[in-house]
Amino acid sequence: MSRIEVVRRFYDAVERSDLAGVLSCLAENVVWHGPSPLVPAGRVYHGLSDLKSRWLGDFLEIYPEYWARPKEYVESEDLVIAIGEHGARISGVLTAMPMAHIWRVHGGKIVGARFFTDTAGMIEALNRSAFPVTPSGQQQVDLPRWSVSQLSSGGFAPVPPSQRSRP
């Protein structure tokens, strides 16, 4: 399978809302760079377990109807760049903005990801929603953090506040 096919498989799983399919594209040691620490779920995450425990719950809580539609793929050595549009329904409001996602692929798995988007547009959309952010990027509300407890059954369990990590 080519590197572009691996990345396409990831986006196909996103389009189907297939969480197991999304996670199956990622290597255990994946390094995931969100678009900016100024937005929720926008930090750097190290490893699949970090993504599952810290990123996934925040992302699904804030962007439950996320979509990404690459229009162009560019491949160079172990990198694939996907250029297109992505968005979400945030508190009932549909958002859409340009995206450039850079993927590093080894051995048929995604080992690195870096996301570029209209961060100011994301902050504006979040501030019109139930998930406002401050200029420092900290959320103004204490969202629950979720961890994946049973991927096979799709169950999620909340992480108690005492065990939540904040940067």
Domain ranges (residues) in the chain: 3-163
Write the CB contacts of 138 (distance below 8 Å, at least 6 apart in sequence): none
CA torsion, ordered 55, 113, 50, 126, to nearest 10 deg: -10
Neighbouring C-alpha atoms within 13 Å toward the C-beta of 161: 2
Please tell me the CATH code under which domain 3-163 is placed.
3.10.450.50
Which pTM does this prediction carry?
0.72
**pLDDT tens-digit profile of 38-58?**
777 778 999 999 988 888 877
Neighbouring C-alpha atoms within 13 Å toward the C-beta of 100: 5
Is 112:80 a contact under the CB 8 Å cutoff? no
pLDDT of amino acid 131: 58
